[in-house]
Amino acid sequence: MMIKKKGIILVLFFMAMFQLQAQDYNNFKIGKSIEIYSNVMRQLNLNYVDTIQPVDLTNLAIKTMLASLDPYTIYVPEKDREEFQIFIQGEYGGIGAVIQKQGDYVVITDPYQGFPAQKAGLRAGDKIVKIDGKSAKNMSADQVSNLLKGTPGSKIQITIQHFGDTTDTTVAMERQKIKIPNVPYYGVLKNDIGYISLNQFNPNAANDVRNAFLDLKNNYHIKGVILDLRNNGGGLVNEAVNIANIFVKKGTEIVQTIGKLKSNDYTYRTTGKIVDGKIPLAILVNQNTASASEIVSGSMQDLDRAVIIGQRTFGKGLVQNIVPLPYGGEMKVTIAKYYIPSGRCIQAIDYAHKNKQGEPIRVPDSLRRAFKTKDGRIVYDGGGITPDIKMKPTVFSQVTGDLYGQNYIFNFANMYAKDHKSISGPDSFRISDSTFQAFKNYVKSKGFSYETETGALLKRLKQSAQRENYYQALKPEIDSLNLTLKDEKQHDLDKHKKEIDELLRLEIVGRYYYQSGKAEASLVNDNEVTRAVQILSNKKEYESILKPKKDAKK
């Protein structure tokens, strides 16, 4: 026994010595690299034919170096710190509107309800002509955005042209603190099922979810709740833990971080009193559900506390921290990976290894390892959270995508709002046949055109045939196919009426009821929400999903 113990001590000693030697060698290489870099910069300054810009070159060198690691490790120079903090905190000083470049000008696309732009009468489709008397023509969206932002309380004058008008209107407003709500909408659906949409994990996200849940529980006596984390890219880890705490008891492990430094190893446990540990819970996810959203959905799955519905999540299992740098700069650096209660890490991409094209490697399904939930269900690591109920994502046709991307749906909604003072509620408004016909007429009058994948293939076929001297022989068939395709495209709007209707409906609702109304309207034809309601309304089905399969216990 003593010999065995001595052997273990010797192994640990040699391991520690090896790690120290490796660290010393790495430190030597770092010192050598810094010396080489400083000498290259010095020689450029002395010998290069033109005057160099050392700061720009250094920023480029740092950016290129960090790009070889992962997309989350970034350098923030002093000049960009304020904008970076705005991004991190989810709030800024401004007028409260989403903007987009369209033609020569930037256009308001989505004013936020209750903020200066909407209060001053700015509407979707308004063209920003001047800002504080300065012409905004040919400005980029970023340039306009920078001019619109400012210290809360400061004043700004914006000259606009309302959609469809040619006269200028100047409005004065006072910038205010803009904070996009974490919970844009919550309400009660069919069968007394509650619904909460969470867009981000910024400060107070957990309190916002808790307050929404308590309102639904106490005032509407819901029998189940849906937490919608689709397209939620994550945010603060502590907010994720506190959201989990709404549904699981105090002291429950939610996530663990493990990094190179022991100081970065930490186990996050719930610290507050549970709100409701029994109410049936469904969480909606998709391929854009990432980071803190995966902590919530993954931990609830591992603890058998919720049914996960949708598509496999993004797979971001990396943790970042902000570290200060000299001269006012900062670096957001990946310091650890996180592991949810079953012990699995759901990071999908291995940034440390690259393929022949120099791209990071995605963990293949064949290498995903099996873990078990609290009650013994099989779950897997290495590729996001796989839903308990898998559903196909909504995929729009080429014609619908082009109608949306070329702003035909956006502009028609502006026309509709100009001609209609009001509409019915977000959940009851529908696109009538006459409205759809008016949209078709509008699209035709504007000469809408788009290229299908089939059209692109025919074009390439013609080019290949010409290059290989087959064109004259194949010309009748190619021409015939092009004519057939042209004729079929004439009917594309009718063929895809259902999905075009949906986007038109949401865009028009947004003109009257803003973001919360659009969120409410989107639930009407939402297959994943419908499935979640069905499961939460059926106790037997809900419990059967959360039970381990018989062969999983072997």
**Annotated catalytic residue, options 291, 299, 342, 516:** 291
CA distance 375 to 378: 9
Coil, helix or strand at residue 532: helix
Long-range CB pairs of 488-491 (<8 Å, 24+ gap) are 489/399, 489/452
Tokens read off for 157 = 């004058």
**Which residues sit opposite 104 in a β-bridge?**
none
Which amino acid is it at 129? V
Whether 464 is catalytic is no
Q: Give CA–CA dist 199/231, Å, rounded.
A: 7
Answer for the pair 340, 298: CB distance below 8 angstroms, yes or no.
yes
**SS3 at position 236:** coil
φ, ψ dihedrals at 537, nearest 5°? -85, -5
Is the Cβ–Cβ distance between 508 and 417 less than 8 Å? yes
Q: Which residues contact 485 (CB under 8 A, 6 or more apart)?
A: 452, 454, 455, 458
Which one from 127, 316, 462, 518 is the annotated catalytic residue?
316
The region, left, alpha or beta by phi > 0 then psi within -120 to 50, assigned to residue 485 is alpha
Cα separation, 184 vs 519, in Å, equals 7
From residue 489, alpha-carbon distances to 409, 449, 485, 532 in Å are 18, 10, 6, 36
Q: Concatenated DSSP letters for 37-97?
A: HHHHHHHHHHH-SS---HHHHHHHHHHHHHHTT-TT-EEE-GGGHHHHHHHHHTEEEE--E
70 classed as catalytic? no
227-257 in b/e form (b: 16+ CB < 10 A) is bbbbbbbbbbbbbbbbbbbbbbeeebbbbbb
Type of residue found at 513? Y
Among residues 302, 492, 501, 526, the one annotated as catalytic is 302
State yes or no: is 155 an active-site residue: no
Q: Which residues are catalytic?
A: 291, 302, 316
